Structure 1
Amino acid sequence: MSVSQQSASSTSSVVRRTLVVGAVVSAVGLVLSSSLFPHASQAQQPAAALAPAPAPTNAPPVLVTGLPDFTQLVEKVGPAVVSIRTTQRVGGDETGETDEAEAQMREFFRRFFGTPLPEPDQRRSTPRQGPGGQGEERPRGLGSGFIVSQDGYVLTNAHVVEGADEVYVNLTDKREFKAKVVGTDKRTDVAVLKIEASKLPAPVRVGDVNRLKVGEWVMAIGTPFGLENTVTAGIVSAKARDTGEEIRFIQTDVAVNPGNSGGPLINMRGEVVGINSQILSRSGGFMGISLSIPIDDAMKVADQLRTSGKVTRGRIGVSIAPVTKEVAESIGLGKAMGALVQGVEPGTPADKAGLEAGDIITQFNGTTIENVADLPRLVAATKPGTTSALKVFRRGAYKDLKVTVAELDAPTSTAAKSAPAKLAANALGLSLVDLNAAQKRELRQSGGVLVEKVQGPAARAGLRPGDVILSVANVQVADVKQFEATLAKVDKARPVSVLVRRGEWAQYVVIRPAP
């Protein structure tokens, strides 16, 4: 290679190195300038990159802006919330109910505290004697309650004071008063207590449950595990939750534990909307589902307890069952609603009003019966002696009846009478015979057919020998001849509804013909 070539090569190499170094320096300069002079850097960006994207003009407004502050509610309502302790006197022999209570208490400690129950000698080192030396006075339970009037009436749960010999109410100012149990109602789990005290805290304000909304914040104050005036909060998960009991509960996710029972459920206006009563749990502890008695139901019961010491309810004397979608369609009711009358007790208001087994009660005093549980609640809330209007669906048509509500007392042993029913014959796998005179007298039925053998579609539908068919396709049948004549008019390809009496009760059954 010549000198000139070496020189050119050297020059080229220097130029390349210079370009590379220059490029690096330029890059560093850009980085430095962007960090030291941010505005200058941004000024070189396109204007569109600087401005945020405009919000859609139809975007919904923000509905939740933050968590609520409960401090003022606690200060306002807290003093009216009380803790309740109960005691029970026991004799020297610890057997029977005492042993059962001991076992329950041990299980309680194991589940909730993870520790064994202290031994008897530890718990009874300083026993308290009951009045006149009537046995030892033992702690029985703890609960909560709240003051509803300035003259000392307290509302709580019936199960908090059930079985107690003595009940004591403790206020937040550390005063304790012996309470009188004015009355309890197990069906709604409501109890009213009375304490004789002066300078009581202001009573709670009662809210309107109808204004309560699902998703609304609520707060509970109570004495879980003996921890007085414990505050927990959550939201309303559901309203009118039906658990098969007389009342429909307010469901929340507010933490409720043993000892919270009887305490108030409070809305954001500082009003009591419910009484904390139950939890649904697989473990025995709180699992996110708490049930509260609506305050309007509780106050109706409390008013009766304060007035007479008991709750008076109505009854009409029927046994009822749900109406399934299948049955509703088969008898032409349109939709599954109402209460299906399975049986009518002789001599009761329902019997005198002309109700029959197989009737579907769709309205009581103008209120629609959407669910079978609606009827007992409406009847129970009716004052005995009141004449009420019934609308029933009977054999394809609506009928209006009047019933005079009686007072609900101890269950009667009177057998229920059953009436019309619906079913099918030979094509449905049934062998039928007429009822004889003795059977009609025994069943108190003027007609119907007796099932002798069952096979095919009828067997699959659950019918069995000994059942009595009272009607088929909404037509009462007096004998086998009428049954078969009625069945002959039914579309053979469609399911057939029959009213079947088994024992003392009647029930609709839908038989699907063989394909």
Structure 2
Amino acid sequence: MKKISSLLLVSIFAGAITLGAYKLFIEKPNYALVTEANQPTTFNTSYTPTSAKGAGINEVDFTIAAEKTVNAVVHVKNVAVSSGPTSLMDFFYGSGGSQRAQVGTGSGVIITPDGYIVTNNHVVAKASQLQITLNNNKTYEAELVGADPTTDVALLKIDAEESLPYLAFGDSDNTKIGEWVLAVGNPFNLTSTVTAGIVSAKARNLGRNQSFIQTDAAVNPGNSGGALVNTNGDLVGINTAISSQTGSYVGYSFAIPSNIAKKIVEDIMEYGNVRKGVLGISSVQPNSSYALENGLSEVDGVYVNKIEEDSGADDADLKEGDVIKMVDNIRVRKFPDLTGYISSKRPGDKIQVKVDRGGEEIIAYVTLKEVQTIQLPMIGLTVKDVSKEDQKKFKIKEGVKITDVPERLKGYGLEGKILIGLDDEKIEDKEDAKNLFSQISRYGTTSLTILNEDGERERIIFQ
């Protein structure tokens, strides 16, 4: 027993000597020296648990949305008949040539089980025949119910024997930047194509004061009129355009928000035309020389540069210089935010407008009115029919009042004057003015006859 105890003590003593020798002579010290002059870089990290499946796309299931959508998206075939010379003999001797069928294709979305289909106006424009092919390869002739070129929305109708799969409009105001979406359509005649992306931006203006949803879901020629849906399969947009120098997709695509498309469709179905309500204000382009000179280029909101008389904004006592910050529950940072929301409303609708007036928050309730002004082609003047007060003041019965002018004409002092003639033609009302201005040649001279506030006639010549 004593022998075993002695061996155990010797083993323990030998192990201690070995460990001490390693620590003292072999192991190298590993020190981190931190001084006040050279502080280590600090990173703030999130402590949110990481999914076992990974982050981002792996956690999203697109299959349900795709299954809901593909059968409600159709192929649209537009057959247009054109005529013209088909040979040099026809061109030089004017024999008239022959008629030719031109075929265009696009997509559409079934929105009711009885066969109403929404698409883009440019997909069906000038069509002599419209043909719809469903995902099950059944083909129908379609009727154009109505269209709005301004918003590029058109409504078609087919008569099917059975109830059709359809998509319900979602609320595009609730879409969020970074949210996953699917684009469904028929690019290059490839039926039922589904691509995925995210909402890249909202209220994107492409130069027409419209408000588009921007996505990075792949959209190509043929996708126009197709569906943009969220992961629940709700229709949040109608795919319309791409940003490209080649004609093919390069990373950006744009869709009409579903709230605007829904309103246009409902107007066509109920009234036969589109009823557009307006707030009655004009703003300034943030990058214009006027905005830069007056410190308006960095305004967070919509700066009210002018109030149209007899408009809803005028009735609600909005003021020039107000900055619109919100409409109802929609945050307004730029003009397309405002126009996009107003485009989903009708004349007679009442909205809440929150403005910043010299640092004071003002809330006004504005009843939208019918569009009272039009922008004349070529020159770009904005005019309205003369009121009874104008007739009395200027001692006239006909003519149109100039309410706004483009930036390049600001120095002519035209605002508030009465336009009564174009060249040798008399102008009676705004529709008359629109027709006459659309006939202006780009290469000749044009003279405008105007009455000033003293009732004196002025003539302005444009070249």
TM class by shorter chain equals 0.5 to 0.7
For 1:178, the equivalent position in structure 2 comes to 141
For 1:233, the equivalent position in structure 2 comes to 195
TM alignment of 1:399-414, pairs within 5 A: 403-408=366-371, 411=374, 413-414=383-384
After TM superposition, give the deviation of residue 70 of structure 1 in Å: 5.4
Q: How far, CA to CA, are the matches of 1:294 and 1:64 in structure 2?
A: 25
After TM superposition, give the deviation of residue 360 of structure 1 in Å: 3.6
Identical positions, percent:
34
After TM superposition, give the deviation of residue 179 of structure 1 in Å: 0.8
CA, structure 1 residues 390+194, in 2 after alignment: closer, same or farther (shift >3 Å)? same
CA, structure 1 residues 405+268, in 2 after alignment: closer, same or farther (shift >3 Å)? closer
Answer yes or no: is 1:142 the counterpart of 2:105.
Answer: yes
Q: How far, CA to CA, are the matches of 1:75 and 1:366 in structure 2?
A: 33
For 1:287, the equivalent position in structure 2 comes to 250
Answer yes or no: is 1:191 the counterpart of 2:161.
Answer: no
Q: What amino acid is aligned across from residue 258 of structure 2 in structure 1? A: I
Greater Cα shift, 234-243 or 273-282: 234-243
CA contact (8 A) 2:115 2:164 kept: no
CA, structure 1 residues 377+171, in 2 after alignment: closer, same or farther (shift >3 Å)? closer
TM alignment of 1:333-344, pairs within 5 A: 336-344=299-307
* Aligned equivalent of 1:255, options 199, 214, 218: 218
For 2:187, the equivalent position in structure 1 comes to 224
Q: How far, CA to CA, are the matches of 1:376 and 1:274 in structure 2?
A: 16
TM alignment of 1:94-133, pairs within 5 A: none
Q: What amino acid is aligned across from residue 304 of structure 2 in structure 1? A: V
For 2:73, the equivalent position in structure 1 comes to 81
User: Is the radius of gyration larger for structure 1 or structure 2?
Assistant: 1
TM alignment of 1:194-213, pairs within 5 A: 194-209=157-172, 212-213=175-176
Q: How far, CA to CA, are the matches of 1:354 and 1:71 in structure 2?
A: 51
Q: What amino acid is aligned across from residue 73 of structure 2 in structure 1? A: V
CA, structure 1 residues 391+172, in 2 after alignment: closer, same or farther (shift >3 Å)? closer
CA, structure 1 residues 281+355, in 2 after alignment: closer, same or farther (shift >3 Å)? same
Answer yes or no: is 1:278 the counterpart of 2:278.
Answer: no
Consecutive unaligned residues of structure 2, counting only runs of 5 or more, are: 1-44, 92-96, 375-381, 387-400, 402-409, 414-451, 453-463
Q: How far, CA to CA, are the matches of 1:57 and 1:405 in structure 2?
A: 47
Q: Secondary structure at the match of 1:154?
A: strand
After TM superposition, give the deviation of residue 152 of structure 1 in Å: 0.7
TM alignment of 1:51-70, pairs within 5 A: 60-61=49-50, 62-64=54-56, 66=58
Q: How far, CA to CA, are the matches of 2:63 and 2:261 in structure 1?
A: 27
CA, structure 1 residues 243+174, in 2 after alignment: closer, same or farther (shift >3 Å)? same
For 1:154, the equivalent position in structure 2 comes to 117
Q: How far, CA to CA, are the matches of 2:157 and 2:131 in structure 1?
A: 10
Q: Secondary structure at the match of 1:285?
A: coil
Q: What amino acid is aligned across from residue 238 of structure 1 in structure 2? A: S
Q: How far, CA to CA, are the matches of 1:212 and 1:199 in structure 2?
A: 33
CA contact (8 A) 2:197 2:215 kept: yes
CA, structure 1 residues 344+77, in 2 after alignment: closer, same or farther (shift >3 Å)? closer
Q: Secondary structure at the match of 2:262?
A: helix
Q: How far, CA to CA, are the matches of 1:366 and 1:211 in structure 2?
A: 11
Greater Cα shift, 75-84 or 205-214: 205-214
Q: What amino acid is aligned across from residue 173 of structure 1 in structure 2? A: N
CA, structure 1 residues 82+404, in 2 after alignment: closer, same or farther (shift >3 Å)? closer
Higher helix share: 1
Q: Secondary structure at the match of 1:321?
A: coil
Q: How far, CA to CA, are the matches of 1:285 and 1:78 in structure 2?
A: 22
CA, structure 1 residues 391+269, in 2 after alignment: closer, same or farther (shift >3 Å)? closer
Q: Secondary structure at the match of 2:305?
A: strand
Q: How far, CA to CA, are the matches of 2:134 and 2:359 in structure 1?
A: 61
Q: Secondary structure at the match of 1:373?
A: helix
Answer yes or no: is 1:301 the counterpart of 2:301.
Answer: no
After TM superposition, give the deviation of residue 395 of structure 1 in Å: 5.8
Q: Deviations over 1:247-295 (max 9, x none)?
A: 5333322221111111112333334332211111122211011222232
CA, structure 1 residues 363+138, in 2 after alignment: closer, same or farther (shift >3 Å)? same
Q: How far, CA to CA, are the matches of 1:73 and 1:465 in structure 2?
A: 55
Q: How far, CA to CA, are the matches of 2:57 and 2:325 in structure 1?
A: 45
Answer yes or no: is 1:313 the counterpart of 2:264.
Answer: no
CA contact (8 A) 1:251 1:291 kept: yes
CA contact (8 A) 2:219 2:242 kept: yes
CA contact (8 A) 2:181 2:199 kept: no
Consecutive unaligned residues of structure 1, counting only runs of 5 or more, are: 1-55, 100-120, 122-134, 417-443, 445-463, 468-503, 505-515
Q: How far, CA to CA, are the matches of 2:48 and 2:349 in structure 1?
A: 55
Q: Which runs of 4+ in 1 moved over 6 A?
A: 330-333, 464-467
After TM superposition, give the deviation of residue 209 of structure 1 in Å: 4.1
After TM superposition, give the deviation of residue 159 of structure 1 in Å: 1.3
Q: Deviations over 1:411-444 (max 9, x none)?
A: 052499xxxxxxxxxxxxxxxxxxxxxxxxxxx9
TM alignment of 1:19-58, pairs within 5 A: none
Q: What amino acid is aligned across from residue 76 of structure 2 in structure 1? A: I
For 2:397, the equivalent position in structure 1 comes to none
After TM superposition, give the deviation of residue 236 of structure 1 in Å: 0.6
CA, structure 1 residues 336+153, in 2 after alignment: closer, same or farther (shift >3 Å)? same
Equivalent pairs counted in the alignment come to 328
CA, structure 1 residues 287+67, in 2 after alignment: closer, same or farther (shift >3 Å)? farther
For 1:90, the equivalent position in structure 2 comes to 82
Q: How far, CA to CA, are the matches of 1:169 and 1:465 in structure 2?
A: 53
Q: Secondary structure at the match of 1:235?
A: strand
TM alignment of 1:392-403, pairs within 5 A: 392-393=355-356, 403=366
CA contact (8 A) 1:82 1:169 kept: yes
Answer yes or no: is 1:242 the counterpart of 2:204.
Answer: yes
Q: How far, CA to CA, are the matches of 1:87 and 1:174 in structure 2?
A: 19
Q: Deviations over 1:176-234 (max 9, x none)?
A: 211111121223322211001112542234445466554454333322122222x2422
CA contact (8 A) 2:130 2:143 kept: yes
